[in-house]
Amino acid sequence: MSDIMDIKYAVAATFSSAKDLFNAAGKVREKGYTNWECFTPIPVHGLDAQMGYPRSKVPRFTLAGGVTGFFTGMLIVWFMNEFDYPLIVGGKPYFSPIYPFPVFYELTILFAAFGTLFGMFFLNRLPRHNHPVFEHPDFGRTGDDKFMIVIEVDDPKFDEDETTEFLKSVGGDSVQTIREPID
């Protein structure tokens, strides 16, 4: 095996209960860290607020998708029935907001759903095949019985020794540096 070069990615601390993690997360937020993440095997209610996260921006994509869908529906009906090939069906006008409303409605729902799904992917930077945090030997257990706080090197307040000490002081069971291999 040749040398594997690596770069520091983050410092991680594990916890054995949701309560410990929840309290520690509050201290991390108070300390002023911004570039950090919690990993939990179960949904922990109120953790977003504890971490100081603002509301998700996904609804904006949903709204944009819905509005686009509504007007796309209108455009389709207008183009086909009024502009390109005017045809009287059932004595109704060529174009009206009433008879083709189901079309507007369905496209609103469809595009709003697309906006939500792809907006979520975009904001979460998905799809993504690998993540440095997988290098942590106990990362698999955050899907089972471990809770983890990870503070990234990119954080402006990050200092390896200081952050390690800090994570120990907030009650981390094991604190270690995650290194991301480059080959």
Partner 1 sequence: MTEASNHSTSSQSIMTKLLAGAILGLGAGTIGLFQGLQSGDKAPFLGWLWGCSFWLSIAIGLLMLIMIFRVFNSKWSPVVRRQQEHGLAAFPWLALCFLPLLLVAWFGKDQAGILWSWVDPSSPTIEVSSVISVEEDVLHQKKAGYLNLKFFTLRLIAYFAIFCGISHWLRKVSFSQDKDGDPNWTRLGSKVSAIGIPAAALSLTFGAFDLFMSLEYQWFSTMYGVWFFASGIRAALAVTILICLYLLSKGTLKGLFKQAHQYDLACLSLAFTVFWAYISFSQYFLIYSANIPEETFWYTIREIDPNTGALSGWFWVSMGLIFGHFFFPFIYLLFYRNKVDAPKLIFIVCWILAFHLLDLYWNIIPGREIVPGAFVGYDARPVIGSHLLWGVFSLVGVGCLCAWAVIRSFQSGTSEIIPIRDPRIRESINHHE
Residues in the site for partner 1, rule: CB under 8 A? 45-46, 55, 59, 63, 90-92, 98-99, 101-102
Assigned token pair, 154: 């990119």
Nearest by Cα to 11 from 29, 48, 41, 37: 37
Choice between 19 and 92, CB closer to partner 1: 92
Choice between 90 and 137, CB closer to partner 1: 90
Choice between 45 and 131, CB closer to partner 1: 45
Give the three-class secondary structure for 64.
Answer: helix
Choice between 91 and 127, CB closer to partner 1: 91
Quote the least distance from Cβ 97 to partner 1, whole Å. Answer: 10
Give the three-class secondary structure for 179.
Answer: strand
C-alpha dihedral over 123, 18, 42, 159, to 10 degrees? 30
Quote the least distance from Cβ 96 to partner 1, whole Å. Answer: 10
Choice between 105 and 134, CB closer to partner 1: 105
Q: CA 144 to CA 141: how far, in whole Å?
A: 5
Quote the least distance from Cβ 180 to partner 1, whole Å. Answer: 35
Q: E strands, the chain, where?
A: 5-15, 36-39, 147-152, 175-182
Q: CA 22 to CA 39: how far, in whole Å?
A: 11
Quote the least distance from Cβ 104 to partner 1, whole Å. Answer: 11
Quote the least distance from Cβ 105 to partner 1, whole Å. Answer: 9
